[in-house]
Amino acid sequence: MRRIAVAILAVFAFAMPALAAPKCPIDDEAAAKAGGFVNAVTAAVKTEFSCEGAFRVLDLCQIGSTADNALSDMVLAKCEPRFLPKALPATKAAYDKARAKCSKIAAKDGTMYQGQAAVCVARTGRDFARKYGTRS
């Protein structure tokens, strides 16, 4: 029994690097070329074609301040057209309610909460686009 447990732990120890969390695709070189990390992240979100891709960049490369609000708006510009124009009133109401929950995060004191709320709003847009939207 002890050998089995050791074998299982050994397998997980070797598999852990493969299970590592994804990292922001913006490296120091890209940030330097763009004139800073925020500019590089902004460019990456803008150039992403899909709602999913734009959200992924925002999620992995959060600034952690009110600068995330502009990035969130860019993500929503890619996600909302997938579902909002044809959404039923109940879906629109659920979307507004979910966004309102995110806004409660921003009510706390500190700019990091503004950033967290912005990412929450973008995630909500992405989730609704997944559930109710068209492919793009």
Residue 3: pLDDT above 90?
no
Confidence of residue 9 (pLDDT cuts 50, 70, 90): very low
Whether the full predicted model's pTM is greater than 0.85, yes or no, is no
Question: So what's the pLDDT on residue 65?
Answer: 86
Mean of the pLDDT values across residues 37-45? 94
pLDDT classification of 14: cutoffs 50, 70, 90: low
CA angle 132, 52, 106 (to 5 degrees): 85
Condensed to tens digits (0 to 9), the pLDDT of residues 88-130 reads 999 999 999 999 999 998 888 788 889 999 999 999 999 999 9
Contact present, 119 and 58 (Cβ < 8 Å): yes
Residue 66 pLDDT: 84
Cβ contact 95:128 at 8 Å: yes
Q: How far is CA 92 from CA 49, 63, 106, 131, 135, in A?
A: 24, 29, 21, 13, 19
How does pLDDT run across 47-89, given as a tens digit for each residue?
Answer: 999 999 999 999 999 998 888 999 999 999 999 999 999 999 9
Return the higher-pLDDT residue of 28 and 6: 28
Phi, psi of 134 (to 5 degrees): -95, 165
20, HSE (Cβ side, Cα atoms, 13 Å): 7
